[in-house]
């Protein structure tokens, strides 16, 4: 059976273009990850996004005193509520940085991906980022896949007399967090790329 050389070249060109779109998006997602996740994150959100509990706290995460609770002018909320607010605010900021970078780079290079393609990738990145950064789901996953001892062993004491930090920079949980974000970023780039080149073959 004879093969049409022109058809073979067209398929090759299509494959190269699709891989190039994926590689570009993956590079943008990876290249902006640390800036969006670390530099653009508010310090208070980094500290409070993993909070849980029914006990009342102030907006900065410090425990609410009886006087604070009784004062109608002082805003208090449960620790869980503050944790959700902090995580959501961080994720929205993360998404804004990553989306701005994606639009800037792709447009500068003459490629305008479909909005639906970018939204799909953003939904994957941001939805999973929110779940991971609430910490308990990540810890449950770590334990389930046999990383529980690693998480317990690799903690950091930030100051003398303070309890060990099990989730911040330098800890096993933080490393697992970053690894998962980056792997999911590749999946998000693949989905975005697939949608971006759909019907353009």
User: Would you kindly state where each structural domain of the chain is located, as residue ranges?
Assistant: 5-50+83-196
- Cα separations (Å) of 27 from 17, 93, 98, 111, 118? 15, 19, 11, 15, 14
Structure confidence by residue, pLDDT tens digits, 171-198: 999 999 999 999 999 999 999 999 999 8
Instruction: Provide the whole-model pTM.
Output: 0.89
Averaged over successive runs of 10 residues, the pLDDT of the chain (201 residues) comes to 57 90 97 97 96 97 96 97 98 97 95 94 98 97 97 92 90 97 98 88 50
Phi, psi of 148 (to 5 degrees): -60, -45
């Amino acid at each position: 059976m004879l093969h049409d050389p022109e058809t073979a070249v067209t398929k090759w060109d299509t494959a190269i273009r699709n891989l190039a779109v994926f590689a570009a998006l993956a590079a943008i997602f990876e290249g902006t990850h640390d800036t969006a996740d670390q530099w653009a994150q508010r310090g208070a959100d980094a500290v409070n996004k993993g909070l849980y509990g029914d006990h009342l706290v102030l907006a900065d995460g410090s425990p609410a005193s009886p006087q604070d609770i009784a004062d109608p002018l002082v805003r208090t909320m449960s620790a869980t509520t503050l944790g959700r607010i902090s995580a959501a605010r961080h994720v929205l900021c993360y998404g804004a940085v990553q989306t701005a970078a994606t639009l800037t780079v792709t447009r500068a290079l003459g490629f305008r991906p479909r909005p639906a393609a970018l939204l799909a990738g953003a939904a994957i990145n941001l939805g999973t980022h929110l779940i991971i950064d609430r910490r308990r789901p990540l810890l449950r996953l770590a334990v389930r896949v046999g990383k529980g001892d690693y998480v317990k062993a690799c903690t950091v004491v930030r100051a003398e007399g303070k309890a060990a930090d099990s989730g911040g920079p330098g800890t096993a949980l933080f490393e697992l967090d970053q690894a998962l974000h980056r792997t999911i970023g590749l999946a998000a780039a693949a989905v975005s790329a697939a949608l971006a080149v759909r019907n353009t073959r």
